[in-house]
């Protein structure tokens, strides 16, 4: 049950940035990007990628055989952002995103451990 709840939490963490694909005005409130800018376009594309991360979480919740790939996708998304955030000087404007990813890391560790643990010969 812990694994299912962990996948659900990971999906919830990614749902808001994914919703920006369908409601682009969220890009301004979430990231401060102005409509019509190239940054806005790039962040809109980022929202499309987050739909993929969200779908991977839901799929893994429902289909255990997909969990290893979903762990890789979700982990790469969260960990790469945290590394880039740290390398970029931890800008205040992105702190909420970093906190959300940090909150998600223990849940990711749970699902990663379950997906890759040895199950015997």
> What pLDDT score was predicted for residue 93?
85
Distances (CA, A) of 42 to 9, 21, 37: 26, 11, 9
Q: What is the mean pLDDT of residues 71-89?
A: 97
**Torsion angle of C-alpha atoms 30, 35, 39, 44, degrees rounded to 10:** 70
Task: Please state the φ and ψ torsions of residue 10, each to the nearest 5 degrees.
Answer: -60, -40
Q: What is the pLDDT of residue 20?
A: 94
Query: What confidence score (pLDDT) does residue 30 get?
Result: 83
Predicted confidence (pLDDT) at residue 69 exceeds the cutoff of 60: yes
State pLDDT tens for residues 11-55. Answer: 999 999 999 999 999 998 888 889 999 999 999 999 999 999 999
Q: Distance of CA 34 to CAs 43, 51, 83, Å?
A: 10, 21, 25
Q: Which two tokens stand for residue 19?
A: 């919703």
The pLDDT score that the predictor gives to residue 71 is 98
Per the CB < 8 A criterion, the answer to whether 19 and 36 are in contact is no
Structural domain boundaries in the chain: 2-116
- Sorted by sequence, the CB contacts under 8 Å of residue 25 that are 6+ apart come out as 35
Model pLDDT for residues 82-113, shown as the tens digit of each residue: 999 999 999 998 899 999 999 999 999 999 99
Angle of helix 67-87 relative to helix 38-62, nearest 10 degrees, comes to 150
* pLDDT at 31 (0 to 100): 85
């Amino acid at each position: 049950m812990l694994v299912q709840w962990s996948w659900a939490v990971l999906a919830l963490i990614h749902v808001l940035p994914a919703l920006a694909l369908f409601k682009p005005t969220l890009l301004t409130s979430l990231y401060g990007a102005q409509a019509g800018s190239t940054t806005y376009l790039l962040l809109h594309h980022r929202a499309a990628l987050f739909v993929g991360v969200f779908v991977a979480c839901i799929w893994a919740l429902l289909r255990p055989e997909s969990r290893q790939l979903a762990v890789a996708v979700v982990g790469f998304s969260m960990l790469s952002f945290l590394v880039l955030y740290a390398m970029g000087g931890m800008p205040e404007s992105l702190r909420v995103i970093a906190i959300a990813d940090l909150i998600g890391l223990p849940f990711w560790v749970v699902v990663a451990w379950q997906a890759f643990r040895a199950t015997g010969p």
